[in-house]
Amino acid sequence: MSNTPTPIATPIDSSARMPTWFIPHGGGPCFFMDWSPPDAWNPMVDFLKNLAATLPRTPKAMVMVSAHWLEPHFAVTSGAQPELIYDYYGFPPHTYELTYPAPGEPALADQIVKTLNAAGIASAPNSQRGFDHGMFIPLKLIFPQANIPVVQLSLHNSLDPARHLEAGRALESLRDQGVLIIGSGMSFHNMRAYGNPEFSPISDAFDAWLTTAVESSPPERHRMLTHWEQAPGARQCHPRRAEEHLIPLMTATGVASSEPGRKVFSDRVMETTLSAFCFG
């Protein structure tokens, strides 16, 4: 497999609604520290740095669905200035001093909660929750000015793909209001497998299946992603009850329930294939 990343999407027409993304957020604060090999994350960094240029306009606000927040219902950050949560461990001291002072957006949080509840999907605001690294690590590259309001949406701790597809569908109209919705996770996430070349073909097979699913017609995409465990190597790529890094893809997909999806990035990192997808 080539280490050359797939080119990112071309800019979208200015009359279009906002697309929705599923992006890889790397390993901890990997983009902001020395790594071995030193260029391991470079293609992903370049991809993330160039993503904003593919948008039709600057987002009015963003909704980030992070793999690092699970609740018994869908929760939404509702604070005006959430603090950062450095929820990674054993990294260099300077990585716990990273900043990303993006404001929250309480009015948007309230709208999300009301929209989900009206759709019969239990949701509640959380004014105390901060921004975790699944949010601020990639956004430091995509929107380094940190001047766009952000709301985080949790995962449901059932990790049920259908439930997250449904939640995404309920929020689709936000895209017509200039809101960018991002699923932040990893298309492969088995902590014991990173760096093991035996997992290269396993991750390749799963990634090929996932790409086919994303690029299928919306009804077939929905069916395949609902039953993602049937993919080749599914549980080797996302061990049971550890699939939280894949589930943000379901919410991002649901937000574009009738629109095409496509792979916009892929690279080999730590002997595994990691990809990003765009919808709309």
Q: What does the pLDDT look like over 157-205, one tens digit per residue?
A: 999 999 999 999 999 999 999 999 999 999 999 999 999 999 999 999 9
Residue 10 forms part of a structural domain: no
Residue 157 forms part of a structural domain: yes
Residue 271 forms part of a structural domain: yes
pLDDT the model gives residue 15 = 54
The helix (H) or strand (E) run that includes residue 213 is: helix 200-214
Residue range 58-66: average pLDDT? 97
Residue 268 forms part of a structural domain: yes
How many CA atoms, within 13 angstroms, populate the side-chain half-sphere of residue 115? Answer: 17
Residue 47 forms part of a structural domain: yes
Residue 254 forms part of a structural domain: yes
Q: Are 165 and 254 in contact (CB under 8 A)?
A: yes
The CATH number of whichever domain residue 157 belongs to comes to 3.40.830.10
pLDDT the model gives residue 1 = 42
Structural domains in the chain (count): 1
Q: What strands lie across the sheet with 20-24, from one edge to the other? A: 123-126, 74-77, 150-156, 61-71, 179-185, 20-24, 272-279, 261-269
pLDDT the model gives residue 176 = 95
Residue 114 forms part of a structural domain: yes
The boundaries of the domain holding residue 124 are 20-27+40-279
Q: Are 247 and 164 in contact (CB under 8 A)?
A: yes
Nearest-Å Rg of the Cα atoms of the chain is: 17
pTM for the predicted model, two decimal places:
0.93
Please state, in angstroms and rounded to a whole number, the distance separating the CA atoms of residues 189 and 204.
13
Residue 6 forms part of a structural domain: no
Residue range 44-55: average pLDDT? 98
User: Is a pLDDT exceeding 60 seen at residue 223?
Assistant: yes
